[in-house]
Structure 1
Amino acid sequence: MDAVTWGQVLAWRMRRQFLDRPDGRGPVEVARRLAGVQAQVASAADLAVALRRGAPAPLGAEPGLVKTWAMRGTLHLLPCDGAAAYLALCGTVRNWEKPSWQRTFKATPADLEAIAAAASDALAGGAALTREELTAAIVDATGSSHLAELLGSGWGTLLKPLAWWGVLCFGPPRGARVTFTAPEHRIPGWAGLPDVPDAARTVVRAFLGAHGPATPASFDAWLTRGASRKREVREWFAAAGDLAEVDVEGERMHVLPEHLAGLLDTAPGTSVRLLGAFDQYVLAGGTSSPHLVPPEHRAEVSRPGGWISPVVLHGGRVAGVWADTGDGPAVTPFPDARLPADELRRSVENYRRLTT
Structure 2
Amino acid sequence: MTSLAARMRAQRLSHPASDATDLLASIFALQAQDVPAARLAARARGVRSLDGPLVRTWAMRGTLHLLHRDDLWVVQLLGPTFIAAGRRRREQLGLTDELCARALPALREVLTEPVDRAELVRRLAEVGVVLDPGSQAPAHLLAFAANSGVLCRGLDDTYRLLRVDCEPRGVDELWRRYRRAYGPATPDDFAAWSGLPKRQLEDLPEVAASPTRPAEPATPTGVVRMLGHFDTYLLGYRDRSAALAPEHAPLVQTGGGFLTPHVVVDGRVVAVWRRDGALFTVRPFDDRAERPDVAEEVADLGRFLDVDARLTWQ
TM class by shorter-chain length? 0.7 to 0.9
1:278 aligns with 2:233: no
Match of 1:165 in 2: 148
Match of 1:354 in 2: 304
SS at 1:321 equivalent: strand
1:191 aligns with 2:165: yes
1:6-21 superposed matches below 5 A? 8-21=2-15
Alignment partner of 1:180 out of 159, 171, 175: 159
Q: List gaps (5 residues or longer) in structure 1.
A: 185-189, 245-254
1:28-177 superposed matches below 5 A? 28-53=21-46, 56-57=48-49, 59=50, 62-82=51-71, 84-94=72-82, 96=84, 100-102=88-90, 104-123=92-111, 126-146=112-132, 149-152=135-138, 156-171=139-154, 173=156
Kindly tell me the number of residue pairs found equivalent between the two proteins: 306
Q: Structure with the greater relative contact order (CA < 8 A, sep ≥ 6): 1 or 2?
A: 1
Q: Considering fraction of residues, name the structure with more helix.
A: 1
Indicate the larger mover: 295-304 or 266-275: 266-275
- Alignment identity in percent? 29
Would the aligned equivalents of 2:90 and 2:137 in 1 still touch at CA under 8 Å?
A: no
TM-score using structure 2 length: 0.84
The aligned amino acid for 1:326 is: G
TM-score using structure 1 length: 0.75
Q: d(CA) in 1 for partners of 2:219 and 2:114?
A: 50
Residue 99 to residue 150, structure 1, CA distance change in 2 (3 Å): closer
Residue 321 to residue 202, structure 1, CA distance change in 2 (3 Å): same
SS at 1:162 equivalent: helix
SS at 1:112 equivalent: helix
Residue 261 to residue 202, structure 1, CA distance change in 2 (3 Å): same
Q: List gaps (5 residues or longer) in structure 2.
A: 307-314
Would the aligned equivalents of 2:12 and 2:26 in 1 still touch at CA under 8 Å?
A: no
1:221-248 C-alpha deviation (Å, 9 max, x unpaired): 1111xxx33221234x34xxxx34xxxx
Deviation at 1:268, TM superposition (A): 4.8
SS at 1:218 equivalent: helix
Would the aligned equivalents of 2:118 and 2:133 in 1 still touch at CA under 8 Å?
A: no
The CA RMSD over aligned residues, in Å, is: 2.9
Residue 13 to residue 137, structure 1, CA distance change in 2 (3 Å): same
Would the aligned equivalents of 1:11 and 1:315 in 2 still touch at CA under 8 Å?
A: yes
SS at 1:40 equivalent: coil
